[in-house]
Chains A and B, each alone.
Chain A
Amino acid sequence: MLKVLRSLRSIALSWSGIATLLLAWWLNTRLGLFPPQVLAPPERVAAAFVAGVRSGDLARNLVASLSVLAAGYVIGATLGVAFGVAMARSRTIESYTSGLFHAIRQVPTIAFIPMLVLMFGIEATFKIVVVGKASFYPAALAAYTAVQGLPRRYFDVADVYRLSPLARLRHVILPASLPPVLTGLRLSLSRAWVALVAAELLVADRGIGQMMELGRQTFRLDVVLMGVVLIGAIGFLLDRGFKRVERLLVRGAPA
C-alpha cells in the first residue's frame, strides 16, 4: 500500500515538471511574449505532429534516424568495448594508443562533421560514422576501467579452484565487468543519439534533425518544436529501455 502510494507520488512529481513546462509554454504564447512564428503554441505543434503522422513524413524520418543510430551504435559500441578490453589487458596496446585515444576524445564529435562530409557525403554512411565515433568513446572507457578494476580477490578464488580459462571468462571476468560496461553502453547510446541529431541538423538528406532544419528554413517553427519534443522523448525512452535491459542482465547485487 505504502509502496503504491510512494510510486504514485514519484510518478505525479515527474509529470508535474512536464505539466509546469507545458503551462508556461502555453501562457507565454497566450500573453504574446514571443510572436507565434517564433514560439509556436502547443496546439499548433500537436497539429504538426498529427499532420506528420498522416503524411508518413514523420515515420520516414524517424526510420531513417533510428536505423542509422542502430547501425552506428552497434559498430561503435562493439569496437569500443573490444578496444577498451584490449587496452586494459595489454600494456603495449595501451602505451601505443592511449595518447591518441585521449587526444581525440577531447574533440567534440561535431567538430569532425565538415571533414566527414567531404569524405563520406551526406548520406547514411556519414551519419553512421558520426554515431559510431560518438558511441565508441564511452564504451571504450567503461570497458577499460571495468577490466582494469577487476578485483584481485575474485581471481584468487578462481585460482584456488583452478578454473579453466573459459570458466574464468564466463564466471568471473564477464559478470564482474558487466555492470560498469553496461552503464558505459547506456551512456554511449545517449551520446550517439545527441550526436546524430546534431549531424542531421547541420548536414543531412533525411532524418529527424533534417526535418527540423527544413522546418526552420520554411519558418515552420511548430515542426521544429515538434522535433525537439520527439528528440527528448526518444532519448528518454532509449535510456529507460536500456536500464530495463541492465536490470535483466545484472544478477545479484554489486559487491
Chain B
Amino acid sequence: MSRTRPEFEPITAGRSGALAIRAVGKTHHIDGQPLEVLRDVSLDIGPGEFVSIVGASGCGKSTLLRLIVGLDNDYQGEIRLDDRRILSTSLDRGIVFQDHRLFPWMTVEENVAVALDRRPLGREAKKKLVAESLALVNLSGFEGAYPHQLSGGMAQRAAIARALINEPKVLLLDEPFGALDALTRLKLQTELQALRRRNQGTMLMVTHDVEEALYLADRVVIMQGGPGRIARIVPVPFPHPRDRGSAAFARLKDEILAELMREPELGSAQVTILSQDRRR
C-alpha cells in the first residue's frame, strides 16, 4: 500500500494519528475588543479517518485548523495527537492553506524542498523525495516552474506535495480547492481520494462545498457561527468510489444544506451532536 522507501524511515512511522479535540475555545481580539470565535468544540478523529468540516464563512474553521496545526496555542481546552498535547507546530502535522502560500521566489521544486529543511537527509535523498512527492500530485515536469507560471490547480497541487512530503500523521486542508473552477475541483477531488488510498494519514478538510465533503469524507462536521461550535456530525455511509448522482447522496446533501441554512438560535450555544456520533 504505502510507497516503498526502505532507505528512509518515515518520521511518522509507528504512530497512528488519532486527534482528540477537547472543549476547545478561542477568543480573538480585534482592536482590543474580544471576539469569541470558538466555543466548546470537541471532536475525536480516528487514525486514518477523513473528516470534513462545513460551515458558514467566519464561523472559525480556519481558526480551528490553525490551533490544530500548532500555529496558535493561546486557547482554552486541549488538543491531543496520539495522546500528546499539541503545543506548537510539528512535522507530523501538515497543512494546505486556503491560499497556496508557495513562495513566489522559489521554483516548485524548491518550494516543496523547503518542507525538508529540518530532515537530516542528504541532498540526493531530498531530491528524490521531492521528485516522488511531485509525481504523487501529477506535477512531474514542472519542477523548475515558478508559482506565477502555474495554474491555480497546479499551485494547489504543489502545496499538497509540500504538505505530504514529510508523511504527516495528520493532514489539514483548509478549503484547498475553494478558489478553483468546478472542473479542476472535481479532478482534484478524485486525485485527493486516490492519494488518500496510498497515504494512510488522518485527514481533516474544511470546505464550503457540501458535495465535496460528502464525496471525500467519512464524517461531515457541521459548524455554526457566533461563536463557532459544532452543530452536528453526520457519518457518510457510502463506499468509495462514491456516486455523486445517487439518490442517497443527494438526500444527505440536502439534509446537510438544510442544517447549514438554519439560523442559529440567538443566545443559544447548545450543541446537538447525534448520540451515535459521539465517539469516546
Query: B106 touches which one: A162, A163, A252 (CB < 8 A)?
Result: A252
Listed stretches A102-110, A168-176, A192-200; interface member: A168-176
Give the secondary structure class of B's interface. loop
Contact bitstring A146-179, B, C-beta under 8 A = 1, else 0? 0000000110110111111001000110011010
Distance to closest chain B CB from A167 (angstroms)? 5
* Complex contact B117–A159 (CB within 8 A): no
* Complex contact A153–B97 (CB within 8 A): yes
Instruction: Please indicate the chain B residues that have their CB under 8 angstroms from the CB of A161 in the complex.
Output: 89, 91, 114-115, 117-118
* Complex contact A162–B91 (CB within 8 A): yes
* Complex contact A171–B114 (CB within 8 A): yes
Query: A162 touches which one: B99, B101, B104, B118 (CB < 8 A)?
Result: B118
Distance to closest chain A CB from B142 (angstroms)? 14
Give the secondary structure class of A's interface. helix
Query: B105 touches which one: A153, A156, A160, A175 (CB < 8 A)?
Result: A175
Distance to closest chain A CB from B65 (angstroms)? 11
Instruction: Please indicate the chain A residues that have their CB under 8 angstroms from the CB of B103 in the complex.
Output: 154, 157, 171-172, 175-176, 252
Q: Does A251 contact B (CB under 8 A)?
A: yes
Q: Does B94 contact A (CB under 8 A)?
A: yes
* Complex contact A160–B104 (CB within 8 A): no
Q: Does A11 contact B (CB under 8 A)?
A: no
Q: Does B95 contact A (CB under 8 A)?
A: yes
Instruction: Please indicate the chain A residues that have their CB under 8 angstroms from the CB of B99 in the complex.
Output: 153
Q: Does B228 contact A (CB under 8 A)?
A: no
Instruction: Please indicate the chain A residues that have their CB under 8 angstroms from the CB of B89 in the complex.
Output: 159-162
**Docked CA distance A250–B103 (Å):** 13
* Complex contact A252–B71 (CB within 8 A): no
Instruction: Please indicate the chain B residues that have their CB under 8 angstroms from the CB of A171 in the complex.
Output: 103, 106, 114, 117
Instruction: Please indicate the chain B residues that have their CB under 8 angstroms from the CB of A250 in the complex.
Output: 105
Distance to closest chain B CB from A212 (angstroms)? 43
CB contacts between A and B, total, < 8 Å: 70
Q: Does A18 contact B (CB under 8 A)?
A: no
**Docked CA distance A175–B89 (Å):** 23
**Docked CA distance A253–B89 (Å):** 29
* Complex contact A255–B71 (CB within 8 A): no
Instruction: Please indicate the chain A residues that have their CB under 8 angstroms from the CB of B118 in the complex.
Output: 161-164
**Docked CA distance A148–B147 (Å):** 24
Distance to closest chain A CB from B184 (angstroms)? 21
**Docked CA distance A167–B118 (Å):** 10
Q: Does B90 contact A (CB under 8 A)?
A: yes
* Complex contact A156–B71 (CB within 8 A): yes
Q: Does A254 contact B (CB under 8 A)?
A: yes
Distance to closest chain A CB from B107 (angstroms)? 8
* Complex contact A160–B95 (CB within 8 A): yes
Within 130-162 of B, Cβ neighbours of A (below 8 Å) are at 146-148
Given A153-B101, A156-B101, A160-B89 in contact, is the A251-B114 Cβ separation under 8 Å?
Answer: no
**Docked CA distance A31–B90 (Å):** 80
Minimal Cβ-Cβ distance residue in B for A253: B148
Instruction: Please indicate the chain A residues that have their CB under 8 angstroms from the CB of B71 in the complex.
Output: 156, 159-160
* Complex contact A156–B114 (CB within 8 A): no
Interface centre among B101, B117, B147, B148 (most CB of A within 10 A): B117
Interface centre among B70, B71, B97, B105 (most CB of A within 10 A): B105
**Docked CA distance A151–B272 (Å):** 39
* Complex contact A176–B117 (CB within 8 A): no
**Docked CA distance A164–B105 (Å):** 19
Instruction: Please indicate the chain A residues that have their CB under 8 angstroms from the CB of B79 in the complex.
Output: none
Distance to closest chain A CB from B202 (angstroms)? 17
* Complex contact B106–A254 (CB within 8 A): no
Query: A252 touches which one: B70, B95, B105, B117 (CB < 8 A)?
Result: B105
Residues on A lying within 8 angstroms of B by beta carbon are: 153-154, 156-157, 159-164, 167, 171-172, 175-176, 178, 250-255
Can you list 29 pairs linking A and B with CB atoms under 8 Å apart? A154-B101, A156-B97, A157-B97, A157-B114, A159-B70, A159-B89, A160-B89, A160-B93, A160-B95, A161-B91, A161-B114, A161-B115, A161-B117, A162-B89, A162-B90, A162-B117, A163-B117, A163-B118, A164-B118, A171-B106, A171-B114, A172-B103, A175-B106, A176-B103, A251-B105, A252-B103, A252-B104, A253-B148, A254-B104
Q: With A157-B97, A175-B103, A252-B146 given, can you name 20 additional A-B contacts, CB distance below 8 Å?
A: A159-B71, A159-B89, A160-B69, A160-B89, A160-B95, A161-B89, A161-B114, A162-B91, A162-B117, A163-B117, A163-B118, A164-B117, A171-B103, A171-B106, A171-B117, A175-B105, A175-B106, A252-B103, A252-B104, A252-B107
